[in-house]
Structure 1
Amino acid sequence: MAYVILKEQGLDVVFNLKNSWVALIQAYLVEAKWFHSGYKPTMEEYMTNALISVACPMVIVNAYLSAANPISEKEFEYLESNPDILHYASRIARLQNDLETSSYKLKRGDILKSIQCLMNETGAFEEAAHQHIKDLMRQLWNKVNAYRAADTILSETSIELILNLVRMAHCVYLYGDGHAVQEGTKNFALPLCFEPIPL
């Protein structure tokens, strides 16, 4: 990918691609340390790391470099700076994932997710924690949607990339863990792709 971009656009993005992947792997290592030590992070600690471990920043960097032609160095640098829209989108993706997968992931052996962190911190019951997370996601969606009308350095294409990533998270995790347990996503996606729409 970096070679094609260098050849076609004259930009060397190897360092940028490598950094996006290194940040993701470092976030995974933090979670691995928490798991193996039995550490229970605060909600803020968890979310700071989870905004990277959800992989949105890495995906957006890679998607932008794949989609943009020509690549705007200014826009690319802005995306790499983790602007608010990407921050909000990453939070939504992480929270949607956690809402539907936290109990499953805890059973298989994983770190506490946002719901459990919130319950530990506030003493809230699981149902109240779920509702709080849903309310938080609604607020974050309002902020993300505001970017569609905002004056920003990002092109419409880049904003759509980010919005589509969040939409995908909602789709994949709406009825459970559509990533690790593909049955739900398969049942949802196959009819969309292969069955005719009745008129």
Structure 2
Amino acid sequence: MSTYLCVAYAGHFCWFLNNQEVRAHIEENQEYFTISMLNVYRATDLMFPGENEVEEARSFSRKVLEKITLKDSSLASTGLNKMVEHELKFPWIARLDHLDHRAWIEDINNTNVLWVGKTSFHRLSTLLNEKLLQLAVADYEFRQSIYRKELEEVIRWSKNKGMSDMGFGRDKTTYCYFAIASSIPLPYDSEVRMIITKSAVVITVADDFYDTEASFDELITLTQAIARWDAEGLSGHSKTIFNALDDLVSELVAKVRHQHGIDITYFLQQIWYETFNSWFVEAEAKWSMGGFVPSIEEYLGNGAVSIALHTIVLPASYLLNPSLADYKIRAGEYQTVTKLAMLIPRLLNDIQSYQKEEQEGKLNYVLLYMKENPGTDIQDSTAYVREIIYKNWGEFLQHVLMDGLAEELPKSCKFLHLSCVKVFQMFFHSSNRYDSNTDMLQDIQKAIYIPLNIRSN
């Protein structure tokens, strides 16, 4: 909240930018202003469109922090310097809250970095600091115990429904649960995490089926079965996928009917059909069996659906408090915050997967931009896509954090959008971590299994 307030009052927050003497003093005495510049940089994570002074503050503070990390100084080996390096390398938008909490607990315990500097009035007594640390440790370990039980449950579900034994594609049950549990803090309850994880598992398996395993006739048959919501005529993998999806939908329908007294069966069937049909459209040629190459706009219209973030977020939002029960959401007719939450992950994915998809004969935005703009290379194209993401990210944050905008969703629902988009930022910020079999293993262990590294006093 303090970060948000800083950005909201940009004129007060960025006053030093217009004073050349102050700016020069900061640059000449960088180490003294390390914490201040770190806090400025963090505050600018929440930047809205048109906030030019905030953007300048981010650029200035980053430049100062980068110089500090390169200097051979008394801070070079301290916890504070490591914190600065981490902040510059892994931005807030690509970090998961649960692992951030772990880092803070361990850093505070082992380095006491919060109290570097002359601001002694910010110090806590040793006794109070220890009690707060004990509370933080107990909370983290409590979360880990919950997460271990929930992960065991969702792994059982995945096996019972045949999702983890398909013999093709990616078994990402643990990845899916880790990501959403680490991004969505308690008090979001277990039901939300479990529904989102199960949805992500079905999406991953079905997407792989459409991409790599199924014949074209099988894709037609499964897509038509989803449209009429009837498994007649299905067999093998298609029937397994349909049955797992039907079980998931039935579970959520029952929960929402019990909590709110409404029936969302039609909405769920429609949003899932929309998603399956988008995969069919991509597979139909890989956009290209007949040599058809879509325009960027055509590709993105379908691609924003096929990434399936809305298919995860909107159904689960019926379990929140307040929920979507009082809002008339229709498949294919989404509010701006949802449209932006669909667009950003698609483009993030495309930046990190264009090489693989080019080899598989598929198209994505990066490749299409080069086709439509002869003379551009891959660096030009990825830079262009990153700029689109950057601009839309600011607008997305504005819709999540600001009240009073048109087409309002409940605050809880908007924050769930944010948590899930941050998961995609984590997956695709600097590489395709989702498709890696090893890249997230240590993070998973830290989030769910490994005890905190707390120094004994």
Q: Which residue of structure 2 lines up, in the alignment, with residue 118 of structure 1?
A: 369
| CA offset digits 1:70-126 (Å, max 9, x no partner) | 54322x52796311111111111111111112212333x252111001010112210
Three-state SS of the structure 1 residue aligned to 2:380 is: helix
Deviates more, 1:142-151 or 1:175-184: 175-184
What is the CA–CA distance in structure 2 between the aligned matches of 1:111 and 1:70, rounded to whole Å?
38
8 Å CA contact 2:324–2:410 kept in 1: the answer is no
Q: Which residue of structure 2 lines up, in the alignment, with residue 3 of structure 1?
A: 254
Aligned positions of 1:134-149 closer than 5 A: 134-147=386-399, 148-149=401-402
Change (3 A) 1:37 1:80: closer
Change (3 A) 1:196 1:175: farther
- Offset of residue 197 of structure 1: 5.2
- Offset of residue 42 of structure 1: 1.5
Counterpart amino acid of residue 64 in structure 1: S
8 Å CA contact 1:61–1:80 kept in 2: the answer is no
8 Å CA contact 2:271–2:331 kept in 1: the answer is no
Q: CA RMSD in A?
A: 2.2
Aligned positions of 1:1-199 closer than 5 A: 1-35=252-286, 36-68=289-321, 71-74=324-327, 76-77=328-329, 81-107=333-359, 109-123=360-374, 124-147=376-399, 148-152=401-405, 153-193=408-448, 194=450, 196=452
The structure with higher relative contact order (CA 8 Å, sep 6+) is 1
Q: Is there any run of 5+ residues in structure 1 with no aligned partner, and where? A: none
- Offset of residue 135 of structure 1: 0.7
- Offset of residue 131 of structure 1: 0.4
TM-score with structure 2 setting the length: 0.40
| CA offset digits 1:138-157 (Å, max 9, x no partner) | 10011011111141421211
What is the identity percentage for the equivalent residue pairs of Structure 1 and Structure 2? 15
Deviates more, 1:87-96 or 1:176-185: 176-185
TM-score with structure 1 setting the length: 0.88
The structure with the largest alpha-carbon Rg is 2
Change (3 A) 1:169 1:42: same
Q: Is there any run of 5+ residues in structure 2 with no aligned partner, and where? A: 1-251
Change (3 A) 1:40 1:71: closer
8 Å CA contact 1:173–1:179 kept in 2: the answer is yes
What is the CA–CA distance in structure 2 between the aligned matches of 1:92 and 1:130, rounded to whole Å?
14
Change (3 A) 1:197 1:11: same
Three-state SS of the structure 1 residue aligned to 2:392 is: helix
Q: Which has the higher helix share?
A: 1
What is the CA–CA distance in structure 1 between the aligned matches of 2:358 and 2:273, rounded to whole Å?
25
- Offset of residue 178 of structure 1: 2.5
Number of corresponding residues:
197
